[in-house]
């Protein structure tokens, strides 16, 4: 635990990627096999289920700190993080435990089934055996996610340095369903566990936004085009009589889309299709908001199935007859995909039409039709491009319409008025900017307070209260965790604004739950939208 806590402390203390990778690599070099696999699991959000609820944790902490519960709660509101508050108020700063990370996690798994007095005894004695930072890390493991800015990519990089397995290969191995309790480090990194491979998705190939002039992309005949559909990017896997739907966020969502799971009877085994999960209402693509009514639900009722039916629109074919064909060209893959979809001929499985044009002007004209066709713009893919791993430049580009939207990070929140009294509904948003010493920070650029449903406001409000850093009267600064897509009507340079940019009628277009704060836009992105 000591080593893992030291690792987290080091990762938390720096914003520099190189340092994070170096710290991780060093840790992986020294950690035991079981600690390694657990560390990978935790950093890829595969925590054991929560053994004790937070209400109990607060009570245990207040009791151990010999303070009234209200005083603990008030302190927690100021500190803004439960694990941190607990770590701070418990009166012990001596590290007395030499248990390893994996030993502790195995105890936590068993703890869930124990009686309440046993839970209390265990948690309190652990708190008293750990020093401040280890106690913080332990409580995070008990209670919630680890948001310490370690992307899968970063961890893969570090692991690759240590194991000498290429990053792309590792990215694939770490995806999908595996459990640290039943998978060894060797198996995960070097072996092949048939059971786990049945549902395992491939890493998604992601495109960057187009940066150059169209003409610089060369001959238009070397390129194919698709509309960029505005749903959830997903992967449909049919293997050994089962069908799995994964999202780009490495989330298994098959249960949420029964109409897609039905396709198991139609798609041949050993097929993996990359595509977009889309609402399809009365023969037309619905809005992202329609889709959102499906995303949040745990159980899908008949009425919602009827109200917002879902289709899967296929972009690409990654596996055919059990063979990984990602290295074949886009054109070859599409030539296999298109007849396959036609053969399957099921209303829930559509093809995303592949387009070709004779000139770049025609491409630009097609893009203008995007809004009409309910797409976000065009995807441009080289005919000879392989299906690569992660976000890569060069072979694929996205060329979106409606440039006047931006993904921003919520930085401050203010309580609303009237109907919204006591809810944090008025938000201030920031964009990334690198300061003179090369560090990224969030610069405030707009306020917005409309565009979310009441339910979403309530959810955001709860998160704001949990992630509050400081209060200034009715305003709170929050730990940046939430990304929203903001839309606005006009944009111009401005001296009156700290960001140097004024936007007209900013409002929230949607809550990008699928994005981490690092994915939000930069101030330079915003400035690039200003008409020349």
Partner 1 sequence: MKQTDLLVFNSKGIYCPRAKVYLDPWRPVNHAIITHGHSDHARSGHKNYLTHHSNIPILKHRLGDISVQGVAWNEHFQINGVTFSLHPAGHIIGSSQVRVEYKGEVWVFTGDYKDEDDGVAVPYESVRCNTMITECTFGIPAFKWKPQQEVFQEINQWWKENKEERKTSVLFGYSLGKAQRILKYLDPSIGTIFTHGAIENMTEVLRPQLELPPTQLITKETKTKEIQGGIVIAPPSAHGSPWIRKLVPYETGTCSGWMAFRGARRRRATDKGFVISDHCDWPGLLKSIKASEAERVICTHGYTDIFSKYLRELGYDASVENTDYEGEKEEATTSTEKETV
Residues engaged in binding partner 1 (CB under 8 A): 12-14, 65, 67-68, 71-72, 74-75, 78-81, 84-85, 88-89, 91, 93, 412, 428, 435-437, 439, 441, 443-447, 469-470, 472, 475, 477, 479, 497-499
- Taking the least distance from each CB to partner 1, the nearer of 361 and 470 is 470
Q: Which is nearer to partner 1, 129 or 411 (CB)?
A: 411
Tell me which residue of 458, 507, 514, 219 sits closest to 357, measured CA to CA.
219
Q: Give least dist CB 326 to partner 1, A.
A: 39
Long-range contacts of 46-50 (CB under 8 A, 24+ apart): 46/178, 46/179, 46/180, 47/141, 47/145, 47/146, 48/105, 48/108, 48/109, 48/112, 48/141, 49/109, 49/112, 50/112, 50/142, 50/143, 50/144
CB of 424 to partner 1, least distance (A): 14
Cβ–Cβ under 8 Å, residues 429 and 408: yes
Smaller CB separation from partner 1, 16 or 353: 16
In the chain the first and final C-alpha atoms are separated, in Å, by 55
Residue whose CB is less far from partner 1, 85 or 235: 85
Instruction: Evaluate whether 111 touches 51 at the Cβ level (below 8 Å).
Output: yes
Closer residue to partner 1 (CB): 184 or 444: 444
Smallest distance from partner 1 to CB 454, Å = 25
510 Cβ contact partners less than 8 Å away, ≥ 6 residues apart: 288, 289, 292, 451, 484, 485
Query: Sheet holding 375-382: strands in order across?
Result: 205-209, 390-400, 375-382, 223-229
For the bound state, the minimum distance from the C-beta of residue 39 to partner 1, rounded and expressed in Å, comes to 20
Comparing CB distances to partner 1, the nearer of 40 and 57 is 57
Of residues 271 and 499, the one with the C-beta less far from partner 1: 499
505 near 488, Cβ under 8 Å? Answer: yes
Q: How far is the CB of 81 from partner 1 (least distance, A)?
A: 7
Given 3-state DSSP classes, what are the helix, strand and coil percentages for the chain, each rounded to the nearest 5? 40, 25, 35
Closer of 151 and 477 to partner 1 (Cβ): 477
d(CA 256, CA 213) in angstroms, rounded, equals 41
Instruction: Yes or no: say if 483 and 451 are a contact pair by the CB < 8 Å rule.
Output: no
Shortest Cβ distance from residue 371 to partner 1 (Å)? Answer: 29
Nearer to partner 1, 113 or 437 (CB): 437
Within its chain, how far is the Cα of 501 from the centroid?
Answer: 28
How many residues comprise the chain? 532
Q: At a CB cut-off of 8 Å and minimum separation 6, what does 428 contact?
A: 410, 411, 412, 413, 414, 444, 446, 447
Alpha-carbon span 463 to 472, nearest angstrom? 18
Tokens 């829930």 identify what position? 348
Nearest distance from C-beta of residue 75 to partner 1, angstroms: 4
Q: How far is the CB of 38 from partner 1 (least distance, A)?
A: 23
The pair phi, psi for residue 155, each rounded to 5°, is: -65, -40
Q: How far is the CB of 135 from partner 1 (least distance, A)?
A: 13
CB of 446 to partner 1, least distance (A): 7
Contact 480, 456 (CB under 8 A): no
Token pair recorded at residue 428: 């201030």
Q: How far is the CB of 65 from partner 1 (least distance, A)?
A: 6
Pairing of β 424-434 and β 405-415: antiparallel
C-alpha distances in angstroms, 312 versus 239, 301, 337, 379, 473? 17, 19, 13, 17, 48
- Closest contact distance (angstroms) between CB of 203 and partner 1 is 30
Q: Backbone phi, then psi, for 412, in 5-degree steps?
A: -135, 155
- Residue at token pair 């709170």: 476
- The neighbouring-strand residues paired with 209 are 398
Nearer to partner 1, 10 or 168 (CB): 10
Q: Which is nearer to partner 1, 232 or 442 (CB)?
A: 442
Minimum CB–partner distance for residue 520 and partner 1 (Å): 16
């Amino acid at each position: 635990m000591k080593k893992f806590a030291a690792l987290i402390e080091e990762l938390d203390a720096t914003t520099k990627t190189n340092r994070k990778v170096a710290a991780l690599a060093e840790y992986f070099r020294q950690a035991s096999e079981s600690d390694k696999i657990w560390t990978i699991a935790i950093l890829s959000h595969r925590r054991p289920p929560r053994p004790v609820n937070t209400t109990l944790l607060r009570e245990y902490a207040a009791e151990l700190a010999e303070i009234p519960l209200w005083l603990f709660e008030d302190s927690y509101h100021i500190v803004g993080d439960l694990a941190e508050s607990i770590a701070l108020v418990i009166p012990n700063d001596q590290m007395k435990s030499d248990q390893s990370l994996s030993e502790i996690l195995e105890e936590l798994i068993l703890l869930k089934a124990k009686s309440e007095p046993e839970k209390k005894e265990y948690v309190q004695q652990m708190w008293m055996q750990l020093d401040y930072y280890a106690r913080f890390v332990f409580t995070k493991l008990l209670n919630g996610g680890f948001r310490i800015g370690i992307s899968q990519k970063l961890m893969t990089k570090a692991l690759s340095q240590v194991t000498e397995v290429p990053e792309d290969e590792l990215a694939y191995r770490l995806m999908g369903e595996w459990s640290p309790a039943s998978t060894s480090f060797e198996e995960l990194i070097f072996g092949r566990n048939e059971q786990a491979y049945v549902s395992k998705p491939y890493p998604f190939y992601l495109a960057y936004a187009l940066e150059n002039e169209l003409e610089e992309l060369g001959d238009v005949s070397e390129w194919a085009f698709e509309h960029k559909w505005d749903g959830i990017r997903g992967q449909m896997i049919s293997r050994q009589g089962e069908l799995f739907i994964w999202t780009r966020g490495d989330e298994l969502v098959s249960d949420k889309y029964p109409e897609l799971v039905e396709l198991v009877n139609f798609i041949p085994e050993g097929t993996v299709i990359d595509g977009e999960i889309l609402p399809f209402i009365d023969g037309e693509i619905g809005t992202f908001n329609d889709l959102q009514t499906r995303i949040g639900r745990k159980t899908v009722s008949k009425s919602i199935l009827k109200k917002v039916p879902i289709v899967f629109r296929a972009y690409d074919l990654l596996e055919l007859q059990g063979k990984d064909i990602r290295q074949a060209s886009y054109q070859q893959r599409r030539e296999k995909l298109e007849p396959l979809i036609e053969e399957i001929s099921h209303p829930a499985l559509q093809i995303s039409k592949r387009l070709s044009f004779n000139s770049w002007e025609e491409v630009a004209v097609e893009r203008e039709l995007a809004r009409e066709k309910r797409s976000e713009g065009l995807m441009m893919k080289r005919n000879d491009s392989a299906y690569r791993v992660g976000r890569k430049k060069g072979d694929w580009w996205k060329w979106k319409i409606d440039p006047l939207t931006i993904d921003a990070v919520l930085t401050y929140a203010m309580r609303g008025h009237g109907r919204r009294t006591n809810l944090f509904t008025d938000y201030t948003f920031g964009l990334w900017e690198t300061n003179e010493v090369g560090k990224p920070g969030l610069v405030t650029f707009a306020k917005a307070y409309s565009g979310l449903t009441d339910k979403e406001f309530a959810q955001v409000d709860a998160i704001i209260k949990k992630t509050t850093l400081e209060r200034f009267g009715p305003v709170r600064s929050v730990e940046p965790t939430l990304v929203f897509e903001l839309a606005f009507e006009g944009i111009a340079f401005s001296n009156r604004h700290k960001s140097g940019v004024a936007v007209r009628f900013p409002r929230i277009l949607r809550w990008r739950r699928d994005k981490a704060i690092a994915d939000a836009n930069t101030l330079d992105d915003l400035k690039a939208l200003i008409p020349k």
